[in-house]
Amino acid sequence: MSAAGAFGRGRRSRAGLAGALSVALATQALAQAPDNAAAPAAAAPASASSSTTTVTTTTTTTVVTTTPAAPLPAWTLATLPDDPVPFHGMVNMDDAGLGSRNMLYPTGNLGVLGLMVSVATHAALVGVSRSSQESEMQVAADKVLAPYRSQLAQFHVLELERRALSMTPSAAAAHLRDAKETPADEMLVVALPSFEMTQDSAALVLDETLALRATAASPQGKEQVVRIVSAPRVEADLQAAWSADGGAALKATAAELMAQSLDVALQQSRLAPNDKLPFKTLRYALGDRERMERGQLLDETCEHLVIRTLRGGLLVVPHKSGAVLPAGCPPAPAIAVRLVAPVAASAASGAVPAASAASAI
């Protein structure tokens, strides 16, 4: 696919990737249904392991750290159609991206492919809904990617998956392969990624729909929507920083975000929900700006916050400028104040000024 085909009018978005995957897998799954009909359904996943909660109080926020679960068992990340990785410019769509809650998909006799069909179809429907709302806004927002089109057109999904899997702490127990080749007793993960660049070009954002099945033979899968925001870059010339060495920084950052999304989704799926966690307004850095999210603070490290939003999504974000960090962490980096910024940046990102007050209310 040419650069022009990967972006603009002919670009392949997450909806396109999911739609192609859904149609192909649905046809294949239906054809294989009779072969799987006699296969016994594996037991439903055991309840998530118990967890302990440690509360550390600072002057402005309560930090809740959940004890990590036991090491992950062997698991497979399913390969996707090897299209160019979906990249877009970020627009302010408050009702898009994190609207899904965890869902159980009873896939019956469709076996391992049924889960992939379900999550691909869901992601495609989300993409279609978004495109109907934001087509003109998206075309304008995508202009931020103009300097990188030729580089991103050569960045394909299989390369992204390989890079991401190599960066996960559980990589020793992970495999990248076709879903049909997953051993019946091994955990199966399907992840559909889509990336956005903030209008100030300072950060990348990953929106990802994941489906997790405790074993490939299990008749049900759990869906999780995750958004990961990268830390803002500090270089004065952002275009040069992203473009250097054939777009190496773009590819590396994308892979790091996907690796983080896999780790967070896998670990949180194995922990019992804590309904006693309070909901609070948390502030974080989105590129050179500051935004806020209402949700439960699941975890905090020196680098980021892990939040469960009001709509059930997982949100992993960098600290806001000047945030009070947990004991032992270095001071939070100051967000760069750039001399030249796109006029449309504030409107496109829906951001609030970086000089806002405390990180939690």
In this predicted model, what pLDDT tens digit does every residue of 145-184 receive, in sequence order?
Answer: 999 999 999 999 999 999 999 998 765 688 999 999 999 9
214-230: average pLDDT: 90
Chain mean pLDDT for the chain:
74
> pLDDT at residue 90 above 90?
yes
Q: Which one has a higher pLDDT value, 189 or 114?
A: 189
Rounded CA separation 130/66 (Å): 34
- C-alpha 26/C-alpha 29 separation (Å) is 5
Domain ranges of the chain: 3-33+68-349
pTM > 0.75:
no
pLDDT tens readout for residues 236-275: 999 999 999 999 999 999 999 999 999 999 988 888 778 8
pLDDT for the residue 270: 82
Angle at 199 between CA 135 and CA 147, to 5 degrees: 90
Residue-level pLDDT at 151: 95
> What's the pLDDT score for residue 169?
74
Do residues 83 and 14 touch, judged by C-beta distance below 8 A?
no
* Residue from 140, 229, 261, 5 nearest 13 by CA: 5
Please answer whether residues 86 and 160 qualify as being in contact, where contact means their C-beta atoms are separated by less than 8 angstroms.
no
pLDDT band (50, 70, 90) for residue 136? confident
From 22-31, 89-98, 119-128, 313-322, the region with the lowest mean pLDDT: 22-31
pLDDT of residue 272: 76
pLDDT of 296 higher than 70: yes
Percent of the chain with pLDDT over 90: 47
* pLDDT at residue number 19: 54
The predicted-structure confidence for 139-149, as pLDDT tens digits, reads as follows 999 999 999 99
Does position 234 have pLDDT exceeding 50, yes or no? yes
Nearest Cα neighbor of 202 from 314, 335, 348, 352 is: 335
pLDDT of 35 strictly over 70: no
Backbone angles phi, psi at 240, to 5 degrees: -65, -40
Distance CA 158, CA 196 (A): 19
